[in-house]
A and B are shown apart, each in its own frame.
Chain A
Amino acid sequence: MRNDAVVIGAAVVVVTGALLTLPLHAARQSSTGAPSAQAKPRNTAEKSVAIRRLPNGTPDIRGRWTRVGGGLNEAKAPETQLKAFGVLAEPQGFGQGDVAAGRGGEVAKRRVPKYLPNPRPPQGIVDPPDRVLPYTPEGLALRLDYAKNMCCPAKSLAHLELTIRCAPPQPWTGGGLHILQRPGEVVFLFEANHHSRVFYTDGRPHPASDMRFFGGHSIGHWEGNRLVVDTTNLDGRAFFGVGNTFAPFSKALHLTERFTVVSDKLITFEITYDDPKTFTRPVKSAGFFYTADEDEELAPEVTCHEGSYAMLDVFGF
């Protein structure tokens, strides 16, 4: 019974975590479906669309946005026992940041938010095109170890799914956010789990390599209409994966994110995940930001540690 409770708790947390990657205001909204990785955005950077700009000439991307995609929704992902609770190994066509499963394991039915671009820009893994991740032997062994031992019960603290631990959000986390901006700096303030990311674009370097963060350390620079963000100094605890299985990247993970301002209503992005200990070559994932209905506000606060009994349930103390 105890295990069942924990399993259900874990499943709820996994699903809740997935839900939280959408803005709360969008909970009543929905999306139909599964955009393909091949879909092209309606607007491309090549077209000369007028873009709002700051006095220093960089695109002005301040405002309310929703971020989707960017995660590694690998094909042929190994299953875990969470499947019994309707949490699928591979969400049906969504990149990370979209709701995969609803109650009872049904694919969540959602209405299309009116500001979503149509057709959708790519979401999820775009390289390799078949979404089969190129594991190193070491990376594959770790992946299978986590698939076997993360549930249920988990083998150790390290094998626990991260949202149940209220972990700090990972750099590729999505959902509703405010973007704030000033010369030399871009800041993302997400709704979920008071996640924030800062990209100084003033030329400063990363700190020393022995200074490590769960979400890494990011610096950025503008290349025309593109914000290029370089993230290193991760502590090796962040997980990749979408659905019911996860595994940690190594500390060697190096992310390059390219955010392309397509218009005042659409930013597309591509993330290069370079982790030579996990993958034999860099892997790329895509996603996009779309503007939100300006009349809708984000929740002032969505906490996790402050309301969680999960660790007590899992460990009994």
Chain B
Amino acid sequence: MTRFLRLTLVVVGIAVSTVVTFAAGQTTAPAARPAARALPAAGVNQLPRTSDGKPDFSGIWQALNTAAWDIQDHSASLASLLGVPPGRGVVEGNEIPYKPEALEQKKKNFAKRGTDDPAFAKCLLPGVPRATYMPYPFEIIQNPNLVGIRYAFARAVRTIGLDGKSRAWLEGWPDFWMGDSRGKWEGDTLVVDVRKLDEKSWFDHAGNFHSDALHVVERYSPLDRDHIQYEATIEDPNVFTRPWKMSMPLYRIVEKNAEVFEWDCRFDQDSEKYKDAIPK
């Protein structure tokens, strides 16, 4: 109980909203539709493997698409501080099967995206799967029983347990912005089951949203040394009429000395907002 209360102190509640719009960074190239690729022949750009024979995803990766602004096909717009770059979407079939009332909510979110987007507007944790396709790098550090991911945006961190432990002890806990992730290997694919996600994150800047019934299954499939095919299956019976999928390639950052630096943009936002304010 003590543990629960202590967590509640810092987790529960919606953060102070600000109207400062986060400068979303440079635009990125429009996404190509993910295409099936054959694994390269042995010896050609070969996939690194761990000592236990699993693909080794350790390294710095980034999605090169515009899904963080809109996971569906979208035109350019000036809706955000730096504008929305045009791009193809990442949703299979491009349609998101909203229930009618949920679609209305999505439209309301869209209208207020400049101030209400939890990530681009408020610099809060991006949630899963959006953390993967924010237009910034993230680092995977893979150990045999645990995969850690450090995302550049909002200092988001995720751990993915591979030891098959029960998550029953989390019953009764509040939900998490980044959810509770558990993984397993299916051949060379890392399959991650993400539950206990709260309803506060959005899928993108266009206001695509979910409830706290969201269940995400991610699949990280190696294409070669420097490319992963990423797929997320989205299930949320409160919001959608059926499960749906998004997919995209992830690209390895190969620059020398690349690293994911500390970036707490919410702290920076507060520093700017209150720099001349007098505490009451």
Contact = CB atoms under 8 A, between A and B. Distances in A.
Interface of A: 2-3, 6, 12, 16, 19-20, 24-25, 27-28, 55, 62, 153-157, 160, 165-168, 178, 180-182, 185, 187, 189, 194-196, 198, 200, 204-205, 213-215, 217, 297-309, 311-312, 314-317
A153 B150 contact: no
B178 A198 contact: no
Given A297-B161, A302-B11, 9 more contacts: A3-B280, A27-B3, A157-B277, A165-B267, A178-B148, A301-B125, A301-B180, A308-B15, A314-B279
Contacts of A297: 161, 165, 169
A16 to B, nearest CB: 5
B264 A168 contact: yes
Lowest 6 CB-CB distances: which A-B pairs, in order? A153-B279, A301-B176, A194-B157, A180-B141, A300-B180, A168-B264
Contact of B13 (A155, A204, A309): A309
A198 B274 contact: no
B159 A300 contact: yes
Interface string B257-280: 101111010110011001101111
A62 B196 CA distance: 26
Given A157-B274, A311-B16, A314-B280, A16 B6 contact: yes
Nearest to A10: B279
Interface of B: 2-3, 6-7, 9-16, 51, 58, 123-125, 139, 141-143, 146, 148, 150, 154-159, 161, 165, 169-170, 173, 176-181, 196, 200, 257, 259-262, 264, 266-267, 270-271, 274-275, 277-280
A306 B143 contact: no
Contact of A315 (B125, B157, B274): B274
B13 A307 contact: yes
A157 B267 contact: no
Given A24-B7, A180-B148, A156 B278 contact: yes
A315 B280 contact: yes
Given A16-B9, A194-B157, A180 B3 contact: no
B274 A187 contact: no
A24 B3 contact: yes
Contacts of B196: 300
Contacts of B3: 24-25, 27-28, 299
A194 B125 CA distance: 10
B128 to A, nearest CB: 11
Nearest to A179: B143
A168 B267 contact: yes
Contacts of B181: 300
Nearest to A6: B280
B279 A300 contact: no
Contact of A165 (B148, B261, B270, B278): B270
Contacts of B124: 305-306
A196 B157 contact: yes
B276 to A, nearest CB: 8
Given A178-B159, A194-B156, A305 B123 contact: yes
Nearest to A186: B141
B16 A24 contact: no
